[in-house]
Structure 1
């Protein structure tokens, strides 16, 4: 079958360029082709321009600017023959069947036999795409539907035809999974596949219900957002995000291809407000605004549109009672009516499509969770409502009850049996939810086991083969005294007979750092002894982890900030998810790293071999990164910033992170010896002066505030070793003492308190 060693992407628009960037992020060379522009002498201008644009984009399609070097650019006229160098060709051109078929005719003449060819289409059936092509071409052809932006959206819908070769399809799916980090969901060759078919219908019925019931967009988003497990954007906020101008295109595309009698057709109606908004340039976030906008003439005031009049007005916060879904849809008035109008239609539609758009409920739930960032899939939502109660309400209203709901009866769509999660199939029997080979999830471990140790902030799990997993469990996985206490107990337990420890969790973020709320409470009651105890306790726990008699591998995903970053710095190795955002951010709230991060970060740079010898280069690097609270925006960038070492590994697929970390830990077991404590040679007072001069330059240019200068000087005092001499060796314990003293001095300053309060209230740093 062979591996995918090089990919060609044809079409350098937003999607094609984004797919090429993600292939490059995986370390695989890409050939990016587009048409020759009508004007100018540069025949590769379109593809080259796409790469240049992506290098400036935010959020960034590239995980590291270095990845862009893996993309070669060209044009279809001159370079199409080079597809013979590639193992997979991805077509991402305009959604016109005739143009796509014309391209495939050319590809058939130049590609090497067995090369996978796929289309990123979201609207054209596979059967139509391969009309007129040879059986050999059809055998290598499939649809691979990525979601925008391709770097960040984890869903990849794969559609195969009756002639598609299974081995070729499996090769592409495996590459999409392991290299590109996608969960590959098998969809059937039907209009809109899974996510867009259901997602477009969902937005349509929500828009209609909000209009019919006279709700504001804020009310609709408050009811149809978090209570239903939808991202905080809500429904109208999401339409703004994806682009209002896409709505008519999706409606037209699905309306022209869906079978007669599909519930979608009954939901489509004229949308004069949307037509007017598009005509006036209000196409969402990419335009002048959408259902929400920032009124710059009124000091960037956030405004919302009135669905009845089309006029903008200041946003009014909507209060929705906190209620479980059965209670939410039963609430009197507009709240309950809207919740049921959306869920009743949406979930019945999804239930009616099992077997038509996908083989089972798991594929549909996965597609909606990964493609639309829902917390729960449609069938998980039905389970919350109760399948029998849901079916009964549909019947009471004279609406058809989908077959699978009748099959379910009073049973749920998911259950746990024998420690395994199972789903209800169309055949009326339960089947195990099967994970791909090499996937280990803590959520599955929890179904079959109880924690070895547990308190309110952390837990320790046995994940097999003598490896334990330490999990943070508090809000945002913030670290507190209970976390540190259980960490100490975990180290003791693992040391008594287990082989290794992995630090990992399946929250959205690895850890946002120390619990600032608790720290602020202690400051407000002047409990300085408690704060000193927390700082010293953190240092002791992290050093116990570092010098434990067994290997420790940390496996971050999402934010790993402050104390969350420091636990990485104290680990023997790191297996990071590609989307890990790592940084020592304490200076942003007026503090310095207090749990050993300063010394460990300097030691990383010293041992990297990337800097000139001497006491100053590593200190200067650490000062530059920590004083500016720099956060790596990917695991690749974390390597460049030395939060990850060169031999630390990166996992592209979030689902594979724990298994990879466990394997890495086991590989370190034989002959394991704890590290030796570092000895620092630091520049002392002269180095502190040099760092102060560098900071003053930022201050004069308005890039650092007055209090930034105070905080950075405290940091400089720690990093340079305090009152030491160039010939002195600074021990690790001395570095920890300097950290503690600087932290405790800063935490007493009212200006730090103001920064912490602002961060907790707004989530944004105060520039005082």
Structure 2
């Protein structure tokens, strides 16, 4: 099959436009078409308006605003002929069969032979969509069901049938995998496919059971949350996020499409409360609120929730259920608890997991695809069959029988066994025929979780580990909460440097947590400050400085492979690496000013270095320092790997991997490619502008203060940052070494660490997760 080099999206609504934006994120040109508004002077107004809106949307559909230039806007009256140059044409119009099929006939008149046409539908079967269409069109047609928002949701469901030509699904899947970062799950042509078929059942069961059992929304969300590895939004928070007005449509569509024998009908009913909330404008976060709202009366900001029985709002109260407290992260303990939380959790999740077993063979090729669909489409930490293994297959069967729920044949076949098991270091899953099949990874996918099943770590402690990833490369992994950095991490980094120097070729710094690293462990820092053990704090700063410097000048390549948050000390470890292979969704920055500190593990000196060495940036002692001050003083965070290059958190030649599952493979490949002839960088010397620059920086902050954009304590923190970036009590005639710069960072950090304003900021961040504007 041909390679996909140009894509068209027809339908510039929220979903269609966002799909176009994410395709543009991959560097692929996109044609975005929609209708011509009646009487419009600008015939492309709908598509152009959608792009303009997305440039202002947060979270941003674009990874970089320059990606928007890859979208060509048009309309379906004047520009259909342009589809003839496209390799993939995506239909994302209203869910009406007559409108879709009329559009398909127009597409078929102009598209080139072999181009793929797909629908983003989530409700209409493929067989229905292609009914009456020419065989050639049907052969090139599939369903590509993106999840909203397309940039951030990694699941893409692909649906084909017997009419689909060989290679069509593979071509789209390869592009979506490597260019869009998607995990592609092939689904059977059944209602709801996989994720929504099971997800909608789960939401309906949770809502009905909460109402029938007289739970509060807070209680329900606390139960259907952490104990089951489900995001803390639970169910009612999730409906607010997705939109209450969407749910009745999806649920009624599911009810209409499923046979009467399907268990969905036993729990499906329309909700008068939901209808009333929607009618009153409570459509979720996009409206006035939903099951939760913020009451802003009298200038306040009070979180409220709706009473599921009366429909009245009242102040939201934190749920305090013994079952949730006792269970922690153990779903089996919760489901066996006698209080109302335990009974609710069992009623919802036992039904849901049984339904997963009921639909699996009908909807999917295997249980792995069902688990991936729920993990990536609904953000479950563990998929339904992984969850059944945690509870115990036999324990779940016993619960179902006790509660009078039919045990699906797939679950019965698993009795006495588990759905997953490890044999000879390889993970296997239970196939529908009752045999165990090995899980294989696509070429270019290397997962640390697989490495761990096959080998023991080289060295490690409670905070970090070193793993052999083959071919002379090793991987340094953090595994603290949020991958925060502490003394134990530093110890392993130093040990890793000695080990790699003796026995290996290259080091990759990577982990498979949600975040690369949220920075230094602020809790430890606050504890040490509260008991005034200042030498311990200064020692941690010095240890971090010496450790990161040792990484930079190690006699072998060091490649950082960040994903998710890389903040503060996490950003600084990236700055000290020889090269970076970043996941596209990397959010990186030196955020220390937000907690009343300055970067002190070399972040200040490295930002000056990067801007001073950038051939496209003005030269002179003031320019690099001023740019570093501009970036660090406001705690700039790049919201993608592409944005990170604009701030030079990443260098222009650092790599970006779109698919999270391919990141370690790409980072290892990059590190090994650097081995031959590797020489560590030369130490840099600094000539900084001194007092004049410090005064200029402080004046800039004062102007923000007068405009109300900076606080009193912002001025204090910025003053210390200005001292570091200007070179302290020196001027351009003095040559500063890297160690001199590190001493400036350390001195300013310690002065701020002793200040009550900084301690208040750290405490507030730890308690609320939000910065204090003191």
TM-score range, shorter chain: over 0.9
Distance in 1 between residues matched to 2:402 and 2:698, nearest whole Å:
74
Q: Is the 8 A contact 1:227 1:322 kept in 2?
A: no
SS at match of 1:666: helix
Distance in 2 between residues matched to 1:742 and 1:625, nearest whole Å:
18
Q: Which residue of 1 aligns with 2:494?
A: 488
Q: Which residue of 2 aligns with 1:174?
A: 174
Q: Which residue of 1 aligns with 2:287?
A: 287
Deviations 1:265-309 (A, max 9, x none): 111123111111111111111111110000111511000000000
Distance in 2 between residues matched to 1:359 and 1:303, nearest whole Å:
43
| TM-score, normalization by structure 2 | 0.98
Deviations 1:236-283 (A, max 9, x none): 000011011111101121111111211111111231111111111111
Give the C-alpha shift of residue 39 in structure 1. 3.0
Deviations 1:51-86 (A, max 9, x none): 001001111111111111111100001001101111
Q: Which residue of 2 aligns with 1:301?
A: 302
Q: Which residue of 2 aligns with 1:238?
A: 238
Give the C-alpha shift of residue 2 in structure 1. 2.4
Distance in 2 between residues matched to 1:250 and 1:736, nearest whole Å:
58
Distance in 1 between residues matched to 2:557 and 2:625, nearest whole Å:
28
Give the C-alpha shift of residue 685 in structure 1. 1.0
Determine whether 1:606 maps to 2:612. Answer: yes
How is 1:319-718 mapped onto 2 (pairs within 5 angstroms)? 319=320, 320-323=324-327, 324-718=330-724
Distance in 2 between residues matched to 1:270 and 1:475, nearest whole Å:
42
Give the C-alpha shift of residue 609 in structure 1. 1.5
Distance in 1 between residues matched to 2:586 and 2:153, nearest whole Å:
15
Distance in 2 between residues matched to 1:424 and 1:354, nearest whole Å:
12
Give the C-alpha shift of residue 40 in structure 1. 1.9
Distance in 2 between residues matched to 1:590 and 1:10, nearest whole Å:
49
Q: Which residue of 2 aligns with 1:318?
A: 319
Give the C-alpha shift of residue 725 in structure 1. 2.1
Deviations 1:572-610 (A, max 9, x none): 001010110000011111111110111111111111222
Deviations 1:92-143 (A, max 9, x none): 0010111111111111110000101110000011111111222221111100
How is 1:244-255 mapped onto 2 (pairs within 5 angstroms)? 244-255=244-255
Deviates most, 200-209 or 319-328: 319-328
SS at match of 1:421: strand
Give the C-alpha shift of residue 322 in structure 1. 2.9
Q: Is the 8 A contact 1:205 1:342 kept in 2?
A: yes
Give the C-alpha shift of residue 697 in structure 1. 1.1
Distance in 2 between residues matched to 1:690 and 1:219, nearest whole Å:
54
Distance in 2 between residues matched to 1:225 and 1:583, nearest whole Å:
30
Q: Is the 8 A contact 1:329 1:336 kept in 2?
A: yes
Q: Which residue of 2 aligns with 1:760?
A: 766
Q: Which residue of 1 aligns with 2:202?
A: 202
Q: Which residue of 2 aligns with 1:68?
A: 68
Distance in 2 between residues matched to 1:560 and 1:247, nearest whole Å:
35
SS at match of 1:592: coil
Q: CA RMSD in A?
A: 0.9
| TM-score, normalization by structure 1 | 0.99
Deviations 1:614-657 (A, max 9, x none): 11111111001101011111111101111000000111111111
Deviations 1:515-561 (A, max 9, x none): 01101111111111111110110000000000000000000001100
Give the C-alpha shift of residue 485 in structure 1. 0.7
Give the C-alpha shift of residue 712 in structure 1. 0.7
SS at match of 1:623: helix
Q: Is the 8 A contact 1:563 1:595 kept in 2?
A: yes
Q: Is the 8 A contact 2:248 2:270 kept in 1?
A: no
Q: Which residue of 1 aligns with 2:188?
A: 188
How is 1:71-220 mapped onto 2 (pairs within 5 angstroms)? 71-220=71-220
Give the C-alpha shift of residue 613 in structure 1. 1.1
Aligned length: 768
SS at match of 2:679: coil
State the 4+ residue runs in structure 1 displaced beyond 3 angstroms.
none
SS at match of 1:434: coil
Give the C-alpha shift of residue 370 in structure 1. 0.2
Deviates most, 323-332 or 360-369: 323-332
Give the C-alpha shift of residue 395 in structure 1. 2.6
Q: Is the 8 A contact 1:26 1:180 kept in 2?
A: yes
Find 2:741's aligned residue among 735, 749, 759: 735
Distance in 2 between residues matched to 1:56 and 1:338, nearest whole Å:
41
Q: Is the 8 A contact 1:97 1:129 kept in 2?
A: yes
Distance in 2 between residues matched to 1:358 and 1:26, nearest whole Å:
28
Give the C-alpha shift of residue 456 in structure 1. 1.0
Q: Is the 8 A contact 1:503 1:554 kept in 2?
A: yes
Distance in 2 between residues matched to 1:456 and 1:259, nearest whole Å:
52
Deviates most, 329-338 or 528-537: 329-338
Distance in 2 between residues matched to 1:115 and 1:424, nearest whole Å:
37
Q: Is the 8 A contact 2:326 2:333 kept in 1?
A: no
Deviates most, 133-142 or 95-104: 133-142
Q: Which residue of 2 aligns with 1:260?
A: 260
Distance in 2 between residues matched to 1:470 and 1:607, nearest whole Å:
28
Q: Which residue of 1 aligns with 2:270?
A: 270
Q: Which residue of 1 aligns with 2:43?
A: 43
Q: Which structure 2 segments of 5+ residues have no match?
A: none
Q: Is the 8 A contact 1:457 1:474 kept in 2?
A: yes
Determine whether 1:722 maps to 2:728. Answer: yes
Q: Is the 8 A contact 1:118 1:141 kept in 2?
A: yes
Distance in 2 between residues matched to 1:456 and 1:348, nearest whole Å:
37
